[in-house]
Chains A and B, each alone.
Chain A
């Protein structure tokens, strides 16, 4: 049976991709963020995940307002990145894991979700930056399944809905009969706002609350609405939903192995957090 080995959550700020391309990792501005990655990579080298399931938000590359899905699951054999309109470096294409994609789609529909199912999907910095941070040589030792959560057009799915989505995805992964190790990624955040008179808004207190909840369990965050999160974390801080879903997919016991929180990168409070899944619950195994 497949096993969820942990959740790695990270900011995916576009500037990270540019910093990697320019080799700025040791510059004073960038060092606090990039220094968080060697221990994460050591853990990855030890644990050797086979598949990475991304909870992420598309930034207007794959989805437009003509058809905007609340949730979308990629079921592609291969994922290709593009420069998104402003020249972010692209990465070598990444292999998909269509069997797990369909396992997840079937499972979450059974559990009451209505995802858009994608057999062609361009992926943006929300996928490419975490991959490059995990595997700097860009030789991907993993396959991926991307699950997109709408962060563009309101009404957005809120913390409760994303928590439930995560639960359903986790259940589907653990019911997958393949002997594979699965890593979850919550891509985005933390607090930031790019648009409006409140641009530059960051909320350290709320971010800290969220980072703590990622360890002890994110259920308490479900008391907030999507608009509460806009107010507390900033207009683009709603990427927090990806963290909530990724953490909710992991039931049982978790251990925090790494945490970095640094203000700012670009306009964002950046964060990297690694949680290992130390014990799955019995019900998941029995399902």
Chain B
């Protein structure tokens, strides 16, 4: 897609194809049994969903920006974040390179625009 929006990855066809396996794995986490199976043996679970090398490395790094770059979609990645116990402010802080407190302040400051 030609249009660039600052700090935003548009999840279009190319990203959807690139991230298919990773997002499929995350979609499976809607089922609590699958969450248990993932936590019991993450490597085996990633094998089952045929995650790419880039996707595995992104998950190992814990970097949400890398997961997005590897084709992860926010709505499906949210389920992984849930398993890892990360809230949206934690994720926001991580992606913007801020502390969680600073990120929360940034949100509050926007009320005074």
Contacts and interface: CB of A to CB of B under 8 A. Distances in A.
B30 A195 contact: no
A199 B33 CA distance: 31
Interface string A207-245: 000000000000000000001001100011000000000
B84 to A, nearest CB: 10
Nearest to A227: B3
A86 B16 contact: no
A227 B111 contact: no
A195 B74 contact: yes
Contacts of A84: 30, 79, 82
A26 interface: no
A41 interface: no
A151 B106 CA distance: 25
Given A202-B107, A227-B10, A83 B32 contact: yes
A152 B23 CA distance: 12
Consensus secondary structure, chain A interface: loop
Given A60-B78, A195-B95, A264-B111, A85 B11 contact: no
B89 A196 contact: no
A48 interface: no
| Chain B interface extent, by class | 35 or more
A228 to B, nearest CB: 9
B82 A65 contact: no
A204 B11 contact: no
B113 A205 contact: yes
Contacts, number: 134
B46 interface: no
Contacts of B68: 195-196
| Chain A interface extent, by class | 35 or more
A94 to B, nearest CB: 19
B12 A197 contact: no
Consensus secondary structure, chain B interface: helix
Interface string A246-287: 000000000000000011101101000000000000000000
Given A84-B79, A85-B35, A266-B89, A197 B5 contact: no
Contact of B30 (A85, A154, A155, A193): A85
Contact of B82 (A15, A64, A86, A231): A86
Contact of B8 (A59, A60, A196, A266): A196
Contacts of A199: 7, 91-92, 95-96, 103
A264 B107 contact: yes
A267 B26 CA distance: 22
A264 B110 contact: yes
Given A84-B30, A87-B82, A200-B107, A267 B8 contact: no
B88 interface: yes
Contacts of B107: 200, 202, 263-264, 267
B78 A59 contact: yes
A86 B34 CA distance: 12
B3 to A, nearest CB: 5
Q: What 9 A-B pairs come out closest when comparing CB atoms?
A: A86-B82, A198-B7, A85-B79, A197-B7, A263-B111, A195-B74, A60-B75, A85-B29, A199-B92
Interface of B: 1, 3, 5-13, 16, 20, 23-24, 26-27, 29-30, 32, 35, 64-65, 68, 73-79, 81-83, 88-89, 91-92, 95-96, 103, 106-108, 110-111, 113
Interface of A: 15, 59-61, 64-66, 82-87, 152-155, 193-205, 227, 230-231, 235-236, 262-264, 266-267, 269
Given A60-B27, A266-B88, 5 more contacts: A65-B16, A66-B24, A199-B103, A227-B3, A266-B89
7 contacts: A60-B73, A153-B73, A193-B8, A198-B7, A200-B103, A202-B110, A227-B1
